[in-house]
Structure 1
């Protein structure tokens, strides 16, 4: 083995972690970073480009593409939650040990926060040109909404909360339908793409009132970044005090989505038969069809 190859092997061993929890943290961080860079940069281009470099649809496409690629990056290691509401829901349902919750949340926070800093650096000159150096949360040259969500002026706080609740319920319901192998689950390998399309659909249909945060990990870390980077504590006061809604409504909406799926689909699903019968076919009908073939 050449000396250079030995050195690379040593570096790889030094950087490789044996901890499964750490691998999941790193996977969530990278997946979240990819998701948020695509999403936030698409918002920045629309806002700072004054509508000449994209519209509302391009923002939704950016987040949809980011979700798809983020899932491909992290899915095989952590399951690609990329959403604190989804992680907490998995813990409540017993699908994920509570001891892993901090690692998932830290990974998501780091990925999202770093993505906000990256987009800030990417569009730093455009931000200064657009705002003349005055970073504001509201007003004609407001730019805080590039990084985090804020409700539309016409929406009441309960109305915006309800929007986030319903949008997240639809997110979880859609994810469960896509992955439901006992019903009519997606073809293997298409789940990431379909989840990205699902997020695109939510943005197209439910993004007007509150910017469809549907994810505490998407909203809080960039909000913290903007508070540090020059927008100040107004990012927590605007809305008014909107910041807590993207943290709580998605968690409740996530649980509601799971409940709806269980009540309407999962509890009634038939087990997958091993005899080659068509998936989802009731056992009684399957036995009758076998009798007819034997006759």
Structure 2
């Protein structure tokens, strides 16, 4: 990012005499030996990095944005789960505080706000499925993928831990100080209903993630009527509200491995034990993680195969014949004389 140099500072610098000033005991010198180009470069550097923390922040900014965005998602999502479910117990609240619609609104608000927090820095992935699909189909740098995913899991863990601390006493009242799986563990991570077979649980997450990525790819496709700048969080709100209303009952619609894994690790640490991972033969792996990833990749493939025309996608890369043609066209373009250098031949008058 380039910043214009300070014209007054440049004017002072161009003087022939050496200037120095003292402020709060510090001597600040402008060296006459610097060229204007060197001074301008230094000015740009110190404008971008006014102190040491600004340099550190630039290294942390992207993973921090993903971490905070995912933390916001879980704060609202796990928070509304706890409030609605725990308040149904009269020992916690005299009247219930919410219903299934409240759950969907809470998760939708969390997703929208999470995207808003991180969107200007990273685009607002807050979901490993989104990050992975962008790497496969949109040239997102692969070296950033593990960094983003780790940041998302950490953010989800922090959000779940804060929510657990907030509702700790209510959970104790509901479970008499015990910790059961799924029980109150399902307030934080996802667990399918008892009647759901493994294949159907996988498919439930698969179809939810497929719908998620289809819409995410559509809303970020500048050739397909994208929303105005700043409106993407609103679209995400509507999208998550719809997925929850349509596919939330049977598995809790994780559609986001970090949203499930971070809180699941938290519950294992807070007394729920290893059963959160052994539940129904490693349900945590094949449903909220593999089901979501598979659905997302298929959704991305379907969108790019049928709608997307940009050359960022691996499905739209030119083949050998097209590459040869474009190379020949570029060669012929370079052979043309530069515009404005035409010299007419001598005419016979």
Pick aligned residue for 2:73 from 31, 35, 40: 35
Q: Distance in 1 between matches of 2:264 and 2:60?
A: 25
Q: Distance in 1 between matches of 2:205 and 2:308?
A: 24
TM-aligned CA deviation for residue 21 of structure 1: 4.9
Aligned 8 A contact 2:137 2:300 in 1: no
Q: Distance in 2 between matches of 1:233 and 1:99?
A: 32
Pick aligned residue for 1:266 from 308, 314, 324: 308
Aligned 8 A contact 1:24 1:103 in 2: no
Q: Which runs of 5+ in 1 are unaligned?
A: 4-11, 270-295
Q: Structure 1 residues 85, 14: closer, same or farther in 2, change over 3 A?
A: same
TM-aligned CA deviation for residue 14 of structure 1: 4.5
Moved over 6 A (4+): none
CA RMSD of aligned residues (A): 2.0
Range with bigger deviation, 237-246 or 202-211: 237-246
TM-aligned CA deviation for residue 188 of structure 1: 2.2
Q: Which has the higher helix share?
A: 1
TM-aligned CA deviation for residue 16 of structure 1: 2.9
**What is the match of residue 192 of structure 1?**
233
Alignment deviations for residues 194-219 of structure 1 (CA, whole Å, 9 cap, x no partner): 11110110000001111100000100
Q: Distance in 2 between matches of 1:59 and 1:102?
A: 30
Pick aligned residue for 1:50 from 88, 91, 105: 88
Aligned 8 A contact 1:150 1:239 in 2: no
TM-aligned CA deviation for residue 19 of structure 1: 6.4
Q: Which runs of 5+ in 2 are unaligned?
A: 1-22, 25-49, 90-95, 312-349
TM-score (norm 1): 0.82
Pick aligned residue for 2:184 from 126, 129, 143: 143
Q: Distance in 2 between matches of 1:63 and 1:230?
A: 25
Q: Distance in 2 between matches of 1:110 and 1:221?
A: 6
Range with bigger deviation, 82-91 or 214-223: 82-91
Alignment deviations for residues 71-96 of structure 1 (CA, whole Å, 9 cap, x no partner): 11101111110001111122222522
Q: How many residues align?
A: 257
Pick aligned residue for 1:202 from 243, 247, 269: 243
TM-aligned CA deviation for residue 55 of structure 1: 1.1
Identify the structure with bigger relative contact order (alpha carbons < 8 Å, sequence gap 6+): 1
TM-score (norm 2): 0.70
Aligned 8 A contact 1:21 1:103 in 2: no
